[in-house]
Amino acid sequence: MASDVGVCLGHYRELVKSGRYKASSREAAECLSLLFGRSIAVGEEVRLDELMPKPRAHRVYDSPLELLTAGWPTPLLKVSGPPKEAYAKLEWYNHFSASVKDRTVYYLLRSVEGERVVEVSSGNVAVALAAVGNVLGKKVKVYIPTAGRYVAPFLDFLGVEYQVLDVSMTVEALEHLQKDIREGAVHPNQFGNDMNFIAHLRTAAELDWQLSSVGRRPDYIIAGLGTSGHASALGFYFGVKYGTKLIGVQPRDWIPGIRRVETGMKWISLVEAEIVDVSLREALEGVREFARKTGLLIGPSAGAVYKAFTAQRHGGVYVLIFPDSLMKYALLLEQLR
């Protein structure tokens, strides 16, 4: 693709603002083709509506990939009423990794050519790549930092090759890929591949569609920061369309799946965001409070998002992104007891 999503942002901004956009240059056509997942010709006009989900009423699907895309939207649950009204996007209703990362991986894998794929991941991306890789017939290998070893049993069952490394952060594992890349494996690169950001413009369109059905526009979106892909794309789309503010959550110490902005992330600089710190203890308190209130077991980074929401003073409509559920973390929680 165009090596930097920056060149596409102007085109995406107009599309989001006016709901339709004519690809009047080759660059525009290329940017729109990436977002819409089909070839768009110069001169063709596209509509934002095309990105909205087309759910199957009876939930009958012909193939696993169809289960993913026609299974959208993931549920949006109202978790509190005015003056601080909040809607939680339950991303564990993605079927492969039971996380928001199915969306990223679906776009990443379509953007790379080659049968062998190598990536680093501390959890959800590893599972999503292994799973979607199986569906698409790709041979996947993943390197996992020590903290992500709780996903190893899932990778065993999915039958992919993996190696747990003695490093604490996922980005530190990147240098281990070089040998595989030299030997012909492709690296989708969730940290640098703009398809990560673009995938979540579609998530944003889906969320917009859901909120519109109940006559709501978000004043705030609260989301955790890992690669910053989902938070930045949602911040961009809703910022352009409604002036929504993004609140990005980073760990004060350590929370699986998210990290601190100063460790380097590509897309957060494309949007204005307020960054808040949440500790692991607070995140798990958030998980506990949410479970007592709703009966739903959300993952630690979702707990951090919920905790950041409860600390907010301003009234308005909030959207909280819950990337996954607690189920995958059983092994990890056992160690934290």
Pair 59, 66: CB distance under 8 Å: no
Q: Whose Cβ is closer to ligand PLP: residue 23's or residue 249's?
A: 249
- 179's CB contacts (< 8 A; 6+ apart) are none
Q: Nearest CA to 316 among 191, 249, 218?
A: 218
* Interface stretch with ligand PLP, choices 161-169, 224-232, 236-244, 274-282 (CB under 6 A): 224-232
Q: Name the token pair of 157.
A: 């069952």
Pair 317, 218: CB distance under 8 Å: yes
Task: Provide the mask over 298-327, with x wherever binding to ligand PLP is found by CB under 6 A and - wherever it is not.
Answer: -x-x---------------------xx---
* Interface stretch with ligand PLP, choices 145-153, 228-236, 287-295, 311-319 (CB under 6 A): 228-236
189 near ligand PLP, rule: CB under 6 A: no
Shortest reach from residue 333's CB to ligand PLP, in Å: 14
Distance in angstroms (rounded) separating the CA atoms of residues 119 and 212: 37
Q: Whose Cβ is closer to ligand PLP: residue 21's or residue 191's?
A: 191
Q: Taking the alpha carbons of 273, 278, 284, 286 in that order, is the dihedral positive or negative? A: negative
Q: State which of residues 218, 224, 251, 303 lies at the interface with ligand PLP (CB under 6 A).
A: 224
Task: Provide the mask over 104-133, with x wherever binding to ligand PLP is found by CB under 6 A and - wherever it is not.
Answer: -------------------xxx--------
DSSP string, 12-71: HHHHHHHSEEE--SHHHHHHHHHHHTS---TT-EEEGGGGS----TT---SSHHHHHHTT
Q: State which of residues 73, 145, 188, 257 lies at the interface with ligand PLP (CB under 6 A).
A: 257
Nearest-CB residue for ligand PLP: 257
Shortest reach from residue 310's CB to ligand PLP, in Å: 18
Residues for the chain: how many in total? 337
Distance in angstroms (rounded) separating the CA atoms of residues 6 and 270: 8
Could you give the count of Cα atoms lying within 13 Å of 50 in the half-sphere of its Cβ? 13
Shortest reach from residue 321's CB to ligand PLP, in Å: 8
229 near ligand PLP, rule: CB under 6 A: yes
245 near ligand PLP, rule: CB under 6 A: no
250 near ligand PLP, rule: CB under 6 A: no
Point out which residues bind ligand PLP (CB under 6 A).
99, 101, 123-125, 224-231, 257-258, 299, 301, 323-324
